[in-house]
Amino acid sequence: MLAPALPETSNPASGPDGSTLQRARGVAHVGFAVCDGKTRLADLYQSGSAKVRLPRGSGERQAVLLNTAGGIAGGDELDYSATWGAGAKATVTSQAAERVYRSLGAAGRVMNRLEVDEGAQASWLPQETIVFDGANLQRRLEVDLAGGSRLCAVEAVVLGRAAMGETVRRLHFRDHWRIRRDGRLVYADDVRLVGDPEVILAGPATGDGARTFATILDVAEGIEGDIERARDLLEAARTHPRAEGLSCGVSAWNGVLVVRLLSRDARALRETIMKFLQGWRGEDLPRVWSC
């Protein structure tokens, strides 16, 4: 079991006058286990601004994470963790899109840790992260899978709200993924955007002008055999009127399937992700995705 611990306050943020600013701290942990043939809640811990809600009547066991601080600013620290016991099937999602605000210098830090036991099926489906001009975010996803388990995960990032006329000209963003099965590294990925993201993503080999991007990951034994199904579902999901500016692709190898998406339009990206995941998983997304 992952033992939650309060983050160390090693990431101070200072105001213009040199004073130490009050920062948000949050820790949340949820654990699932099979009891009497059903997946049930086994562990729950929450403190600070990180909270967990457990909706009823969804048909599938779900946990919804939320940050009561209303977003992430420089110096904030959030630690989320979840465990799936042997044979458990559950989804962890977020209440809404997370917002990352302008920083005065210090980084906002988010740590996500998942443990999935033998035969369990874990879905990690947070809604998108919206970063604003001047944001500074360091985020990590660490996953430990047992043999025979499965993980479906998604993360999407939106660079400002186009409908509000927002542009992001200065950004420090780092996203670090490490997935291990039986202790062996099977997937590693790092995204680093430092500077002007519009310039960084302008090139045809970087983003071709995209202002939103996403990764969908499915880790399961033999999943590479479903690559053509994934490609067909992805093509069918691109039905949004503005999806012509969306590019995507699928790769699969050694029990890992990865979908990459880039778009100039956040709504087109979101709807494509939703339609793909519904077809891919064969079940509806958590209700919060439609609120």
280, part of any domain: no
Quote the Cα angle for 268-261-183, to 5°: 135
Q: State pLDDT tens for residues 31-45.
A: 999 999 999 999 999
Residues paired with 180 in a beta bridge = 144, 185
Question: What percent of the chain lies above the pLDDT cut of 90?
Answer: 82
Count other Cβ atoms within 10 Å, centred on residue 196. Answer: 14
Which residues have CB under 8 Å from 288's CB, separation 6+?
55, 64, 93, 94, 95, 96, 127
Closest by CA position to 268, among listed 183, 158, 151: 158
Question: Does residue 265 belong to any structural domain of this protein?
Answer: no
Would you say residue 37 lies in a domain?
Answer: yes
Q: What is the rounded average pLDDT for all residues in the chain?
A: 91
Domains of the chain: total:
1
Q: Please give the backbone phi and psi of residue 81, each rounded to the nearest 5 degrees, phi first.
A: -145, 155
Distance CA 117, CA 236 (A): 33
The encoded tokens of residue 90 equal: 């559950």
> Which of 160, 153, 103 lies closest to 130, judged by CA?
160
Q: Considering the domain boundaries, does residue 195 fall inside one?
A: yes
| Distance between CA atoms of residues 103 and 13, nearest Å | 9
The CA dihedral of 59, 65, 71, 77, to the nearest 10 degrees, is -160
Given this model, what pLDDT does residue 172 score?
96
pLDDT score recorded for residue 242: 77
Distances (CA, A) of 232 to 125, 213, 218: 21, 20, 16
117 part of a folded domain? yes
Residue 28: Cβ-neighbour burial (10 angstroms; 0-12, 13-18, 19+): buried
Residue range of the domain that includes 39: 31-216
- Which one is predicted more confidently, 94 or 165? 94
Give 107-143 pLDDT, tens digit per residue: 999 999 999 999 999 999 999 999 999 999 999 999 9
Q: What is the rounded distance in angstroms from the CA atom of residue 279 to the CA atom of residue 273?
A: 10
The answer to whether residue 80 is domain-embedded is yes
pLDDT value for 6: 41
More confident site: 241 or 53: 53
Pairing verdict, β 256-263 and 246-253: antiparallel
Is 272 inside any structural domain?
A: no
DSSP helix/strand/coil, 242? coil
Query: Cα separation of 104 and 108, whole Å?
Result: 11
What is the pLDDT averaged over residues 198-205? 91
**Which region among 7-16, 157-166, 172-181, 263-272 has the lowest average model confidence (pLDDT)?**
7-16
Residues 6+ apart with CB under 8 A from 158: 97, 128, 129, 130, 131, 211, 212, 266, 269
| Within-domain flag for 260 | no
The pLDDT of residue 163 is 74
